[in-house]
C-alpha cells in the first residue's frame, strides 16, 4: 500500500523537475523578447513547437521503456527489464539522428507551415538551425529522466533538471544579452543546457550499473515497437500544449494578427508551467502505479491514483491564484508592448477556468499509460486538440472572432476532462471485476 510519504517522495521531485522544464521556454522568451521585442518573442513562440517535438519524443521513448522496465521488475523478470532499457537507449539514439537531419534540412518549410513569415521566419530559422544540430542532446537527456525516476532516483532526476536549468539561464544571459547573439544564442544555450542534463543522467545510470546497449538484434524491433506503443501517449501529453499552441497561433494570425500571437505567447509561457507541474504529478506517480500494476495490487493502485488527483487539483488551484495575481506583469516580464500587456490582463481569467480540468486529464492519462491502457491514453492525449480545432472552426465565425479563439481552448479542455472521468469509471469497474 502506498502511503503519503512514499507518494510525495516520488511525486514532489517530479513536480519540481517538470516545473523547471517549463521554465526553459520562459527563459528563451524572456531574453529574446527583451532583446528583440514583440517580433522576437513571437518568432521564438512560433518556433518553439519544434523544440517541444524533440523533447517530447525523448520523453515518450524514455517513459515507454521505463514503464516496461518497472512492470517487468515487479514481475521479477530482471533480464526482460534490462532488455527494455537497452531497447529504449537504441531507440533514443536512432531518433536523434533522424531528427537532426530532418529538422536541419527542412527547418524553413516547417516554420512556414507553423505560420512564420518574413522577419518571423528569418529569426525562427536562426533559432531552429542551432536547435536541430543539438537535437540528440535533447532527445537523450529527456529520455533518460523517466528511467532515473523508475530506478528510484526521483531526487537525482530533479537535480539533473536543475543543473540544466541553471546552465540555460547563465548561457542565455551570456549569449543573448552580453554577446548579442539574439535567437541563435538562446538556442545554443538551450542545447548546451540539455547536454548538461544528459551527461548527469548518464553518470547516474553508469554508477547504478543500469546502462546497457546489449539486446539481441532479432528482438530490437519488437522491443522498440512496444516502447513506442506505450510512449505515444506521454509523447502526446508532453506535446498537447504545443499542439494547442500551433492551432491557436494559426487561428490567431487570421483573427487577431501579430498582437494576438504575442498575447498568447506570454500567457502560454506561464500557463504551460502549470500544465507541466500537473504532468509532473502524473509522471511522478507513474513508477508507483506501474509497480502496483505489475504486482496486481489494485488497492494500492487506486490509493496512489487518489493521492495524485487530490494533489494535482490542489496545485491547479494554487497555480491559478498565482497567475491571476501576476497578470499585470506578464507582458512586462517578456518585454511585450503596452497594448499586448493590456490584452494579457483582460484574457488571463478566461484561460484559468480550464486549469482544474487539465489536472483531471493529465493524471487520468498518466494512470492509463502507466498501466498499459494504451487505447484510453491515446484517446485522452489527442482528443483535446481535436476538440479545439473543431470549436475554432465553428465558434469564431459565428460568435465573435478572436475572443472565441480563447474560449474554444477552455471548452475543449472541459470536454476532455468529462471524457477522462467517463473512461476512468469504466476502468474502475474493470479493476473491481478483477
pLDDT at 235: 85
- Sign of the torsion angle spanned by Cα atoms 187, 193, 195, 198: negative
The tens digit of pLDDT for each residue in 48-107 reads: 778 888 888 998 899 899 988 988 888 888 888 889 999 999 999 999 999 999 988 888
- Alpha carbon 229 to its chain centroid, in Å, reads 18
As a 3-state breakdown, the chain gives helix, strand, coil percent values, each rounded to 5, of 90, 0, 10
- Sign of the torsion angle spanned by Cα atoms 315, 428, 149, 156: positive
pLDDT at 22: 67
The number of folded domains in the chain is 1
**Of residues 126, 125, 98, 130, the one with CA closest to residue 109:** 125
pLDDT at 199: 95
**Three cell numbers written together for 403:** 475572443
Which positions of the chain have pLDDT values less than 50? Answer: none
219 and 159 Cβ atoms separated by less than 8 Å: no
pLDDT at 357: 96
User: How far is the C-alpha of 69 from the C-alpha of 85, rounded, in Å?
Assistant: 7
The tens digit of pLDDT for each residue in 308-350 reads: 999 999 999 999 999 899 888 877 776 777 888 888 888 899 9
pLDDT at 247: 85
Q: Distances from the Cα of 399 to the Cαs of 343, 395, 407, 410, in angstroms? A: 19, 6, 11, 15
Q: Using the 8-state DSSP alphabet, how is residue 189 labeled?
A: H
Query: By residue range, what is the domain housing residue 380?
Result: 4-433
Query: Residue 75, SS3?
Result: coil
Amino acid at each position: 500500500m502506498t502511503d503519503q510519504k512514499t507518494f510525495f517522495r516520488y511525486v514532489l521531485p517530479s513536480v519540481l523537475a517538470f516545473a523547471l522544464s517549463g521554465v526553459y521556454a520562459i527563459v528563451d522568451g524572456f531574453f529574446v523578447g527583451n532583446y528583440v521585442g514583440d517580433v522576437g518573442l513571437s518568432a521564438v513562440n512560433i518556433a518553439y513547437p519544434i523544440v517541444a517535438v524533440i523533447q517530447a519524443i525523448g520523453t515518450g521513448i524514455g517513459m515507454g521503456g521505463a514503464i516496461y522496465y518497472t512492470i517487468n521488475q515487479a514481475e521479477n523478470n530482471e533480464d526482460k527489464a534490462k532488455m527494455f532499457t537497452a531497447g529504449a537507449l537504441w531507440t533514443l539514439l536512432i531518433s536523434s539522428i533522424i531528427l537532426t537531419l530532418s529538422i536541419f534540412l527542412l527547418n524553413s518549410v516547417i516554420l512556414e507551415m507553423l505560420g512564420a513569415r518574413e522577419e518571423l521566419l528569418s529569426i525562427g530559422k536562426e533559432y531552429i538551425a542551432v536547435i536541430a544540430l543539438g537535437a540528440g542532446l535533447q532527445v537523450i537527456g529527456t529520455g533518460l529522466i523517466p528511467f532515473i525516476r523508475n530506478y528510484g532516483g526521483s531526487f537525482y532526476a530533479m537535480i539533473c533538471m536543475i543543473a540544466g536549468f541553471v546552465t540555460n539561464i547563465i548561457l542565455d544571459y551570456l549569449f543573448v544579452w552580453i554577446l548579442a547573439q539574439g535567437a541563435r544564442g538562446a538556442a545554443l544555450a538551450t542545447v548546451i543546457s540539455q547536454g548538461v542534463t544528459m551527461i548527469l543522467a548518464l553518470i547516474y545510470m553508469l554508477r547504478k550499473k543500469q546502462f546497457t546497449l546489449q539486446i539481441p538484434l532479432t528482438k530490437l524491433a519488437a522491443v522498440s515497437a512496444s516502447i513506442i506503443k506505450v510512449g505515444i501517449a506521454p509523447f502526446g501529453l508532453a506535446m498537447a500544449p504545443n499542439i494547442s499552441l500551433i492551432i491557436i497561433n494559426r487561428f490567431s494570425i487570421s483573427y487577431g494578427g501579430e498582437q494576438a500571437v504575442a498575447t498568447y505567447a506570454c500567457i502560454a509561457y506561464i500557463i504551460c508551467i502549470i500544465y507541466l507541474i500537473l504532468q509532473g504529478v502524473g509522471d511522478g506517480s507513474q513508477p508507483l502505479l506501474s509497480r502496483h500494476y505489475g504486482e496486481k495490487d489494485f488497492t494500492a493502485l487506486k490509493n496512489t491514483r487518489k493521492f495524485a488527483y487530490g494533489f494535482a487539483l490542489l496545485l491547479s488551484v494554487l497555480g491559478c491564484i498565482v497567475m491571476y495575481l501576476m497578470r499585470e506583469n506578464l507582458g512586462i516580464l517578456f518585454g511585450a508592448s503596452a497594448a499586448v500587456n493590456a490584452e494579457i490582463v483582460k484574457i488571463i481569467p478566461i484561460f484559468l477556468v480550464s486549469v482544474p480540468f487539465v489536472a483531471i486529464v493529465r493524471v487520468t492519462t498518466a494512470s492509463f499509460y502507466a498501466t498499459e491502457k494504451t487505447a484510453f491514453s491515446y484517446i485522452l492525449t489527442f482528443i483535446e486538440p481535436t476538440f479545439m480545432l473543431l470549436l475554432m472552426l465553428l465558434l469564431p465565425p459565428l460568435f465573435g472572432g478572436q475572443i472565441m479563439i480563447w474560449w474554444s481552448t477552455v471548452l475543449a479542455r472541459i470536454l476532455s476532462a468529462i471524457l477522462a472521468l467517463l473512461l476512468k469509471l469504466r476502468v474502475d469497474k474493470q479493476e473491481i471485476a478483477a
